[in-house]
Structure 1
Amino acid sequence: MAELKTQLDLQQIPKIVGEDGTQLLARCYAVLEHTRWPLYIVGPSGSGKSIIAMNLARQYALAKNVPAYYVQLSPEQTKTSLILGLRLENGSLAVKNGVVADCMESGGIIIVDEATHSVQEILLMFNSILDRTSVTAIGDKMIYAHEDFRIVFCSNDSRYSGNVKLPQSFAQRLVSFYFDYPTAEDELLIVEQIVAEECRANDVVPVSLKRYIIELMREVRSNTYPLSVRNAAIAVVLCNLELLRRPEWRQTMIDSYFYDNRNVESIKRYLAKRVLGCEAASVTDLTDRRIMELEQALSAIGIVTFKEIILQSFMYYLDVDLGFYDLQMVKEKLESSII
């Protein structure tokens, strides 16, 4: 099996945006700075755990002038490939370090991601490393961790399909932090960050439409259908590409869908709730500039096209494993919630 030499490029790590992530970063870093305790960041899929852990690694590595490593666990890994073991070299068995042993010796920090995508036997092999002595051994070779060595685990909780539960002896050695999905305001900032980094075109999507997409995502997602800011960012980029094809979109006539429908006020209230974040208190709220801008953007994109963009971005066409849950019921909820 190939060696896992996965040193992080600190310049490639996206910065944390939003108050929730910034606060968790500060709390976790305080533990790293003042103790040798291993951290475990757990939360729903797509909440930003890995990015927070990588920012922890960057901050610690720069402060201590040490390397930072990153590895994802999987059932195929062994102690030999991951930590320390005997490998065949020039016809003979030789003791070779894995990425964890390298990090222990250098006094670096390592992010062990997708911890519950492994098997319990692999997690149990970390126990001696997580103890106060922090040691690993194979044959007559023993590696004691440098005092600056730090380790941070990340995972979804075990309710997600394909995740294993943590062995009790492993869990007892950890300091755990739960990170839920950020607030809507923070998710807006994260979506804008992703769009700025990954879309080469100018972003012309109005904030009202971004808020609408994010609120739709927050309404539909669940532990069984874990939509994230990545899904929202995809939808924003696809909407952006449509609007760039129509440079005069701000002069677009409002689609008759909004005005010919007998339930126009209820539709406008639905739009307002998602964009303004609260129930419309008066008719004035329904004519808010942000609501009108949203209507113009949706009209320029086209209602049918917009619905298709949401379905594309929110995994509607993918055969997602939801365990015992009814995928078709989830998809029907999504489809009926778009407009």
Structure 2
Amino acid sequence: MTDFKTQLDLKKIPAVVGKAGRELLQRCYGVLEHTRWPLYIVGPSGSGKSIIAMNLARQYARQRQVPAYYVQLSPEQTKTSLILGLRLENGSLSVKNGVVADCMEKGGIIIVDEATHSVQEILLMFNSILDRTSVTAIGDKMIYAHEDFRIVFCANDSRYAGNVKLPQSFAQRLVSFYFDYPAADDELLIVDQIVAEECKALDVVPISAKRYIIELMREMRSNTYPLSVRNAAIAVVLCNLELLQRSGQSWLQSDSHFANAQNAERARRYIAKRILGTEPGSVLDLTDMRIVEFERFVSMIGVENFKAIILQSFMYYLDVDLGFYDLQMMKEKISSSII
């Protein structure tokens, strides 16, 4: 029998926030509700695919009163461990269900995450399950899926290091949905959600600072350097902890970076573009309260501390695999673009 740990705890699944995520959730659920077709949600790392899939599973499981399962693929898995196979028990071989076969029999829904972190041979084992007959077999035992059985795959696309391409016969059986990084406003909502869940301290980072961090992240993000809301959330939490340590200091003090008259206007124009979302049209735009608030925030923790937090949060100190791209050039770009 399947280990109960492979079942999703529906109460612990974070809600989908943001317009794009909710729209994708609705479109995917329409397919789950009205067909038996397998779903494949693909997109860049950190875009929120797994959360959407888990919300699909929760909604489906509650509506149909069926169990929901979750599994991550890896190259070490076999048909025996994952789907169905012969296992040694009390000195003899017997046929035992893996998590997929168990889900098929019970008419549940299963999330198969990190699909492209496996190998093609593992993906090909799903082919008969994804057919209209939806069957799997080992020896003389065959399991036909219950009509309520549903399967949802999640994966990064293969351009990211460590991901495999899909076999054609596997891909032909899927209904695919691409989920890109959400819009900036949605990413702000997601960052707030992550910070609220992960940081036990009161969040005192101003919205202007969060917007600045998110816009910086979006500028630095690329297919080869996939920064996500996780990185932005780390930066917000570290800034928050820094602020709390300095809570007795005055917000009115100004860092020398802003106090220097030669730097002030140039720095504020740089800040305004990220916080306001556009180039400042006049000097009045530079006195917008959001810009003033951000300047005070950075002054409170110090420009150099703020830069260090961004570098720490944006993987600057990690040897990230960029393929043929120059990692050092990417790091220099981030370092010179912070403020």
TM-score of the aligned structures, taking structure 2 as reference length: 0.97
> Corresponding residue for 2:208?
208
> Corresponding residue for 1:305?
305
Structure 1 CA distance for aligned equivalents of residues 215 and 249 of structure 2: 23
Structure 2 CA distance for aligned equivalents of residues 177 and 29 of structure 1: 12
* SS across alignment from 2:262: coil
Length, aligned pairs only: 338
1:224 maps onto 2:224 in alignment: yes
Q: Which 5+ residue runs of structure 1 have no aligned equivalent?
A: none
1:294 maps onto 2:304 in alignment: no
In structure 1, give the amino acid aligned to 2:304: V
Q: CA deviation at 1:325?
A: 1.5
Structure 2 CA distance for aligned equivalents of residues 323 and 97 of structure 1: 39
* SS across alignment from 2:110: strand
Q: CA deviation at 1:246?
A: 2.2
1:117 maps onto 2:120 in alignment: no
Structure 1 CA distance for aligned equivalents of residues 70 and 295 of structure 2: 44
Structure 2 CA distance for aligned equivalents of residues 174 and 81 of structure 1: 23
* SS across alignment from 2:87: strand
Q: CA deviation at 1:281?
A: 1.5
- Give runs of aligned pairs for residues 44-63 of structure 1, distance below 5 A: 44-63=44-63
**Contact 1:250–1:296 (8 Å) recurs in 2:** no
Structure 1 CA distance for aligned equivalents of residues 251 and 317 of structure 2: 33
Q: CA deviation at 1:261?
A: 5.2
* SS across alignment from 2:163: coil
- Give runs of aligned pairs for residues 190-339 of structure 1, distance below 5 A: 190-248=190-248, 251-260=251-260, 262-339=262-339
Q: CA deviation at 1:290?
A: 0.6
> Corresponding residue for 2:163?
163
* SS across alignment from 2:88: strand
Structure 1 CA distance for aligned equivalents of residues 29 and 3 of structure 2: 29
**Contact 1:239–1:309 (8 Å) recurs in 2:** yes
> Corresponding residue for 1:91?
91
* SS across alignment from 1:25: helix
**Contact 1:46–1:228 (8 Å) recurs in 2:** yes
Structure 2 CA distance for aligned equivalents of residues 81 and 266 of structure 1: 60
* SS across alignment from 1:63: helix
Q: CA deviation at 1:5?
A: 5.0
Structure 1 CA distance for aligned equivalents of residues 145 and 227 of structure 2: 39
* SS across alignment from 1:272: helix
In structure 2, give the amino acid aligned to 1:101: A
Structure 2 CA distance for aligned equivalents of residues 226 and 245 of structure 1: 31
Structure 2 CA distance for aligned equivalents of residues 83 and 338 of structure 1: 48
> Closer, same or farther in 2 for the Cα pair 1:64/1:4, shift >3 Å?
closer
In structure 1, give the amino acid aligned to 2:31: V
Structure 1 CA distance for aligned equivalents of residues 189 and 249 of structure 2: 24
Structure 2 CA distance for aligned equivalents of residues 318 and 272 of structure 1: 30
In structure 2, give the amino acid aligned to 1:226: P
1:14 maps onto 2:7 in alignment: no
Cα RMSD of the aligned pairs, angstroms, is 1.3
Segment drifting more, 251-260 vs 200-209: 251-260
Q: CA deviation at 1:292?
A: 0.3
Structure 2 CA distance for aligned equivalents of residues 172 and 16 of structure 1: 28
Structure 2 CA distance for aligned equivalents of residues 276 and 254 of structure 1: 21
> Corresponding residue for 2:102?
102
> Corresponding residue for 2:134?
134
Structure 1 CA distance for aligned equivalents of residues 184 and 5 of structure 2: 37
> Closer, same or farther in 2 for the Cα pair 1:229/1:184, shift >3 Å?
same
Q: CA deviation at 1:277?
A: 1.1
Structure 2 CA distance for aligned equivalents of residues 112 and 63 of structure 1: 20
Structure 2 CA distance for aligned equivalents of residues 249 and 272 of structure 1: 25
* SS across alignment from 1:200: coil
Structure 2 CA distance for aligned equivalents of residues 171 and 177 of structure 1: 12
In structure 2, give the amino acid aligned to 1:290: R
Q: CA deviation at 1:245?
A: 1.8
> Closer, same or farther in 2 for the Cα pair 1:294/1:215, shift >3 Å?
same
Q: CA deviation at 1:127?
A: 0.3
Q: CA deviation at 1:171?
A: 0.2
Q: CA deviation at 1:118?
A: 0.4
Structure 1 CA distance for aligned equivalents of residues 302 and 196 of structure 2: 24
Structure 2 CA distance for aligned equivalents of residues 21 and 294 of structure 1: 29
Q: CA deviation at 1:241?
A: 0.8
Structure 1 CA distance for aligned equivalents of residues 179 and 261 of structure 2: 42
* SS across alignment from 2:6: coil
In structure 2, give the amino acid aligned to 1:207: I
Q: CA deviation at 1:250?
A: 5.9
Q: CA deviation at 1:270?
A: 1.0
* SS across alignment from 1:251: coil
In structure 2, give the amino acid aligned to 1:334: I
Q: CA deviation at 1:266?
A: 2.4
- Give runs of aligned pairs for residues 24-39 of structure 1, distance below 5 A: 24-39=24-39
